[in-house]
Amino acid sequence: MSDLNKLTISDARDLLRKGEVSAVALTEACLSAIQGAGKLNAFVHHTPDLALERAKAADARISAGDAPSICGIPVGIKDLFCTEGVASQAASRILEGFRPEYESTVSAQLRDAGAVMLGKLNMDEFAMGSSNETSVYGNAVNPWKVDDRDLTPGGSSGGSAAAVAADLCLAATGTDTGGSIRQPAAFTGTVGIKPTYGRCSRWGIVAFASSLDQAGPMTKTVRDAAIMLEAMCGHDPKDSTSADLPVPDFEAMLTGDIRGQKIGLPREYRMEGMSAEIEALWAQGAEMLRDAGAEIVDISLPHTKYALPTYYVIAPAEASSNLARYDGVRYGHRATLAQGDGITQMYEKTRAEGFGHEVQRRVMIGTYVLSAGFYDAYYNRARKVRTLIKRDFEQAFAAGIDAILTPATPSSAFGLGEMLDADPVQMYLNDVFTVTVNLAGLPGIAVPAGLDAKGLPLGLQLIGRPWEEGALLRTAHVLETATGFVSKPSKWW
């Protein structure tokens, strides 16, 4: 069977269980695809020997009848996850040469369930970015192309999105602090879910903003997202924010029945200057859910307009605190010192050389808003507004809303180099539809829903009640079925 790398998780699982394909063959197909896709720069650390070793072990488990759904499935791991003995740099020079002696909880759960790690995936440095252009490895490239322009795969999980869209792996891990799973998924015609804050352990994931970061899967279909999410979830005593809740069988909840569900359309998401294509796609998505038996309800989330400034105070503040640990003393990059330089000069030079411009910008913003004269004016005020944003959602759900439908991004993928240096604020606006979900700690999923006039994918976002990822996935599955999105990028790489 050719093109095994193009299979979905669910299809590959069924073939593996029937003995019609092997995990080794699946892995070899993906390794071959990766080798031929250097132009995408999606994989930055390759582990072919480890992958084949794990694939052989997975085949043995499957033969013995001891095989979870994810067993034998080749996946990519975002470079933000620490992986034992394998380079884990968070796409930053400051973690150059760092090979952890431990495994992140999420990647360990995938490994223990039999998933096959193919290697580490490109990303924005320390997950700070919306275009994958801040990476020390250079930018990942979207496999979708128009007019021979290289397009962004989104960020920060751009390598994950590009790898899944180009069939280099069957699925990938991502992390989402302000939209870093959902925005790249929308830009690449893939599915990405950010679960409720606390559903997946953060232990062993390099921290950006600790009250916002959450791991999640990036896959080809909603069913695949349900399968992979179940393997990634679970209580972890090593993470104080990890929820001690049972993990449902998410796949079993994809019944296709959303009759009687109330789907909210927030009027505040109709932004000034929103493109007609995005507006039309949103309306079509609502109509599809109505046709499936859901009730469409206009709702108000009045504090949405404050979400971006709130996020861009809280996230840099937490980043400035988290990134203070990178000093060149114990691991990673250390600057060469001149004679007479002391420890202060070592810190200054190491951090200046080790952090890229976007990381430096956010650390400086965060340090500023946490400083003595501005703590109350900025950070404390942002925390209070965050509470109001969360309350907006709570009131909507208390009024009977089951899920909220919004656009995933304000546009389709833009060209590499178009925004990053020209106008960082314009880049930040890419998160306008996604940051509220992180601020409120809610689950959110991006589902591909159509193509724009240029032939590039556009996505819709569904936001669910806390801890009800199963219900959210069910609604997303109905939407996915209704849109019938099956488009793939034409291979040029």
* Torsion angle in degrees (nearest 10) through CA of 406, 410, 416, 418: -160
Nearest CA among 462, 488, 458, 485 for reference residue 475: 462
Amino acid at 292: A
76 DSSP 8-state letter: E
3-state secondary structure of 240: coil
160 and 78 Cβ atoms separated by less than 8 Å: yes
The Cα–Cα gap between 284 and 193 comes to 21
| Residue 145 annotated to the active site | no
Single out the catalytic residue among 10, 22, 69, 78: 78
| Residue 411 annotated to the active site | no
Single out the catalytic residue among 131, 160, 180, 320: 180
Helices (DSSP H) in 22-149: which residue ranges? Answer: 23-35, 48-63, 105-112
131 and 428 Cβ atoms separated by less than 8 Å: no
What is the per-residue DSSP string for 141-205? --S--BTTB-B---SSSHHHHHHHHTTSSSEEEEE-SSSTTHHHHHHHT-EEEEPPTTSS--TTB
Residue 11 CB partners (closer than 8 Å, separation 6+): none
- Interhelix angle 381-398/307-322, nearest 10 degrees: 120
What is the per-residue DSSP string for 414-426? PBTTSSTTT-HHH
Nearest CA among 476, 480, 441 for reference residue 261: 476
Place of tokens 């907006």: 392
3-state helix, strand, coil in the chain (%, to 5): 45, 15, 45
125 and 359 Cβ atoms separated by less than 8 Å: yes
43 and 168 Cβ atoms separated by less than 8 Å: yes
| Residue 156 annotated to the active site | yes
391 and 441 Cβ atoms separated by less than 8 Å: no
Q: Which are the catalytic amino acids? A: 78, 156, 180
